[in-house]
Structure 1
Amino acid sequence: MKRTGSRLVAQMGFPPTAPRLENSKKTVSDGVEDVDKEVLVPAEAEAEEAAEEYDWREEWYPLYLTAQVPDDAPLGLTVFDKQIVLYRDGAGVLRCYEDRCPHRLAKLSEGQLVEGRLECLYHGWQFEGEGKCVKIPQLQEGGKIPRAACVRTYEVRNSQGVVWVWMSEKNPPNDEKLPWFEHYAKPGFQDTSTIHELPYDHSILLENLMDPAHVPISHDRTDWTAKREDAQPLVFTLTERSSRGFAGHWGRSKNPALMNFLRFQAPCVLSNDLEFVDKAGVKQYFSALFLCRPTGQGKSMLIVRFGASSRSPVFNLVPEWYFHQNACKVFEQDMGFLSSQNEVLVKERLPTKELYLNLRSSDTWVAEYRKWMDKVGHGMPYYFGHSSLSPPKQPAVVEQAPVGFVAGISASFPAKGGVGTQHAPNPANRYYRHVVHCKGCRSVVKTFQAWKETLVLLSLAAVASAILASAQQWKVVLLASAALFLAGSSVCSYVVSLITTNFIRTHRRL
């Protein structure tokens, strides 16, 4: 019997069976085998499908939320381990280049924008348009810029508020592959979007997002809907399956009338839609959209969009930064689980059918996703499939982040979005994972920090004035004012902490 069966037997309270020797008979009862077949997703595919031709470069990848792209600085990004740089030129047009200067390979994303041109800060070479070099300060007078002094370009599209990049270096963009989301194009459809960097592989991220069974447990009372007591068997119905992904319906066994429709669209788009008729007889739509970009070994970037055809008036009273910090909290609740899962997959180097114990009533989409990887994973830099795998052939590239005083200076520039050494690049730090990518949250942090400092100064001034005041009533008024100023300063500190501080489960030992 397979190892998964032994684990289930142990969990059911039966004594574990001895390991099966080669050519020996099974040592477990047929009854337990029947339980396995009834409860677990089959370890083997019902009909093994041959691997299909696939090239990860011949795809569109979500780069960034259009509204969050800086106007005054280049933005360094990656797709798998391919480093690219995104910026807006003088006309506001989005440009995307390979992130290295042809001169001496310095990162262009560490450069600056000069009159709409991208300048490498190492020697001052400047580039524009289709990657053409237009200025070399060290070039002798009358000398011509070498033809090879250009950078490789990538096609980008701004579609429905998201910047997408076409990674192929040999074929023109295939616009038929560019994702389009029907609900988000409907008049009056409203959404809230956030962006997050996460310290684990994009395949593990996608697994997590297509796993509704974990929500009531891991996110109990986090988003006003998840409740631990609602954990229950789920119902899954697969309706589509191809090399471009899969789709199907799922819902709670206790409420089968309310079914969600989930679609995974290659290579890294996941949507979950819910349609229902409200009390007034009007059809309403809710959509959760997850755009996952692989950013290297053990790293990913996620764009999250939650949209609905109508919202409660109360929703509009809550500041947007509050929803952003709540989204950060959700990902932090799962971060420890997913990071350790990533570590085990890389260390064990086994396909997931040898490691996972997938239940039919909770893990159907997870198993389906890993089986999809079996078909196309050979066309990726690395992958972990259900029955096959191709681990990374080279160790992950670890970039050394600045520390101490240098980090404080480098993180203070608008392009980096930081405000001090505590926000030096760190994939486990909420500020680095979200706030540096969100203009709104950065603005809120800076505003509340400014108010905090102002209120502290006003409090000190009020106390000093109270000491100097001769009239008793003025002393009381000034001291009361100082107390109010301090209270306001504390509120500002709390808001900044709420936006920038990681969630830690209270039951954990520190």
Structure 2
Amino acid sequence: MGPDDRDVLAEASESAPLVPAEALLAPPRAKVRASVARMLGHWFVVAASNELGDRPIARTLLGVPIVLFRDGEGKPGALLDRCPHRNVPLSIGEVVEGQLQCSYHGWRFDRGGTCKFVPSLLGDATAKARNAPSYAAREQDGFVWVYGAPNEAPKTEPYRFPQLGKGYTTVRRRVESESTMHAALENALDVPHTQYLHSGLFRSKPRGIQIEARVTRTHDRVVAEYVGEPRPTGLVARILSPSGGEVTHFDRFILPSIAEVEYRIGTENHFYVSAAMTPVTDFLTHIYAVVSFKVRLFPGWLLKPFLMPLGLKVFAQDAALLKLQTENIKRFGGEQYASTEIDVLGRHIWRLMRQAERGSVSTGENVHEETVKLLV
């Protein structure tokens, strides 16, 4: 290294950063016009608990690379995946004495991002410029949740999966959708598409039966209750309730990223899907699904091998369609939607997401209600 090289390195020292720190933490903006809301002040699932062991793992949330690790007490920590010393990914390091150690020069950080140790340094290792930006992390319901705003105390609590530990047969899966999170949420809570895209698996094409969707939107969620719905004619519904029965059906979106689908068929058949969606990037969404069910005629362990392949096939159809939708949105330079009233929840989901992005979510009980008629 010559004298000129040393001068350049000195100019890029911590006392004179080339790029403002806040710019490094800002999620990158999409170049394509799309329904993307960056809800930083909320919790998102970034891993299953069993994925986070003795070694750090890399994840991306809202387009920002982060690293997860367990400290000396086994608690999860989440830091920006970038050593403040020389920009090396911290995710390629290791955990030493409960601290995350960079693989390049051995700097160590606690789960709050504070630099605790610099090898060969005689003085105190702690200094604000040496800290790594940190994200609040919590382990709950078998998942690791991360709060989207760095260096900030959480203002909300993570979502609780409602059917865990209540005698239900439960299956967990992580799948991914090459789409915006809004598109994935609307797809998960959209009734009309199931009659065509999933024909024969869950529903058949419309039989001309009129039902109502009673929609209620509050400050943090929107719920559709479908009234007068007959038992779906597809294979999954016939397995869940061979003899039919009265159907109770709710679809729910809960800020920031939860989709719930609940069916009761008859008095003792209950099917509940909770999907926690994580915006990895603008056009990649990870979906952490918890499927819980209880059926009167069959034990859960017997139904599980039949229902899960069918459920995964339904999702594979959705994933393939959403990927094509995304490719077309990019091909045409942005979204252009023409909607009707039977696109029941999509506009409400987007309204709530935009309010959350702006930080204008109310804690009051401002309620919007409407009724939509549709044919199934």
Scaled by the length of structure 2, what TM-score is found?
Answer: 0.70
Identify the match of residue 187 of structure 2 among 208, 212, 222: 208
> Counterpart of 1:183 in 2: which secondary structure?
coil
Aligned residue in 1 for 2:202: 226
CA change 1:104–1:314 in 2 (3 A) is same
Residue 285 in structure 1 maps to residue 275 in structure 2:
no
Q: CA deviation at 1:180?
A: 2.7
Amino acid at match of 2:315: F
CA change 1:346–1:234 in 2 (3 A) is farther
> Counterpart of 2:73 in 1: which secondary structure?
coil
Q: Which has the higher contact order (CA 8 A, sep 6+)?
A: 2
CA change 1:274–1:335 in 2 (3 A) is closer
For 1:233 and 1:86, locate their aligned partners in 2 and report how far apart those are by CA, in whole Å.
Answer: 50
Q: CA deviation at 1:379?
A: 6.0
For 1:65 and 1:231, locate their aligned partners in 2 and report how far apart those are by CA, in whole Å.
Answer: 41
CA change 1:133–1:248 in 2 (3 A) is same
Aligned residue in 2 for 1:332: 316
Amino acid at match of 2:323: S
Q: CA deviation at 1:200?
A: 1.8
For 1:201 and 1:284, locate their aligned partners in 2 and report how far apart those are by CA, in whole Å.
Answer: 33
Q: Is the 8 A contact 1:207 1:369 kept in 2?
A: yes
Identify the match of residue 214 of structure 2 among 227, 238, 251: 238
Q: CA deviation at 1:65?
A: 2.4
> Counterpart of 1:77 in 2: which secondary structure?
strand
Residue 358 in structure 1 maps to residue 343 in structure 2:
no
For 2:54 and 2:155, locate their aligned partners in 1 and report how far apart those are by CA, in whole Å.
Answer: 30
For 1:198 and 1:342, locate their aligned partners in 2 and report how far apart those are by CA, in whole Å.
Answer: 10
Amino acid at match of 1:249: E
Q: Is the 8 A contact 1:74 1:111 kept in 2?
A: yes
Aligned residue in 2 for 1:439: none
Amino acid at match of 1:145: A
Aligned residue in 2 for 1:260: 249
Q: CA deviation at 1:192?
A: 0.5
CA change 1:374–1:163 in 2 (3 A) is closer
For 2:187 and 2:330, locate their aligned partners in 1 and report how far apart those are by CA, in whole Å.
Answer: 17
> Counterpart of 1:191 in 2: which secondary structure?
strand
Aligned residue in 2 for 1:486: none
Q: CA deviation at 1:133?
A: 2.6
Aligned residue in 2 for 1:468: none
Spell out, residue by residue over 1:286-340, the C-alpha distance to the aligned partner (whole angstroms, 9 max, x if none). Answer: 21111111111211111011102457656425787x8766555433323332123
Amino acid at match of 2:256: P
Amino acid at match of 1:156: A
Residue 249 in structure 1 maps to residue 206 in structure 2:
no
CA change 1:350–1:96 in 2 (3 A) is closer
Identify the match of residue 167 of structure 2 among 168, 188, 206: 188
Give the fraction of aligned pairs with identical amino acids, expressed as a percent: 23
Aligned residue in 2 for 1:308: 293
For 1:374 and 1:92, locate their aligned partners in 2 and report how far apart those are by CA, in whole Å.
Answer: 36
Alignment of 1:431-450 (within 5 A): none
Identify the match of residue 52 of structure 2 among 64, 70, 80: 70
Q: CA deviation at 1:171?
A: 4.7
CA change 1:365–1:243 in 2 (3 A) is same
> Counterpart of 1:62 in 2: which secondary structure?
strand
Q: Is the 8 A contact 2:135 2:151 kept in 1?
A: no
Q: CA deviation at 1:274?
A: 2.4
> Counterpart of 2:72 in 1: which secondary structure?
coil
Q: Is the 8 A contact 1:99 1:109 kept in 2?
A: yes
Task: Give aligned pairs, total.
Answer: 310
CA change 1:126–1:324 in 2 (3 A) is farther
For 2:253 and 2:110, locate their aligned partners in 1 and report how far apart those are by CA, in whole Å.
Answer: 37
Q: Is the 8 A contact 1:204 1:338 kept in 2?
A: yes
Spell out, residue by residue over 1:192-250, the C-alpha distance to the aligned partner (whole angstroms, 9 max, x if none). Answer: 111123322111111111113323432345xxx52545776673423421342311212
For 1:290 and 1:344, locate their aligned partners in 2 and report how far apart those are by CA, in whole Å.
Answer: 25
Identify the match of residue 273 of structure 1 among 262, 265, 273: 262
Q: Which runs of 5+ in 2 are unaligned?
A: 1-36, 232-244, 361-376
**Structure of larger gyration radius:** 1
For 2:62 and 2:221, locate their aligned partners in 1 and report how far apart those are by CA, in whole Å.
Answer: 19
Aligned residue in 2 for 1:154: 135
More helix by share: 1
> Counterpart of 1:203 in 2: which secondary structure?
helix
Q: Is the 8 A contact 2:65 2:80 kept in 1?
A: yes
Q: CA deviation at 1:366?
A: 2.5
Residue 120 in structure 1 maps to residue 102 in structure 2:
yes
Amino acid at match of 1:275: R
Q: Is the 8 A contact 1:131 1:151 kept in 2?
A: yes
Q: Which runs of 5+ in 1 are unaligned?
A: 1-53, 381-510
Aligned residue in 2 for 1:164: 145
CA change 1:319–1:250 in 2 (3 A) is closer
Identify the match of residue 341 of structure 1 among 325, 333, 336: 325
> Counterpart of 1:337 in 2: which secondary structure?
helix
Aligned residue in 1 for 2:19: none
Q: Is the 8 A contact 2:169 2:300 kept in 1?
A: no
Q: CA deviation at 1:271?
A: 0.8
Aligned residue in 1 for 2:155: 174
Q: Is the 8 A contact 1:70 1:87 kept in 2?
A: yes
For 1:197 and 1:113, locate their aligned partners in 2 and report how far apart those are by CA, in whole Å.
Answer: 29
Scaled by the length of structure 1, what TM-score is found?
Answer: 0.53
Q: Is the 8 A contact 1:118 1:128 kept in 2?
A: yes
CA change 1:110–1:228 in 2 (3 A) is farther
Aligned residue in 2 for 1:50: none
Spell out, residue by residue over 1:45-81, the C-alpha distance to the aligned partner (whole angstroms, 9 max, x if none). Answer: xxxxxxxxx9822212222222x32312212222211
> Counterpart of 1:259 in 2: which secondary structure?
strand
For 2:208 and 2:334, locate their aligned partners in 1 and report how far apart those are by CA, in whole Å.
Answer: 30
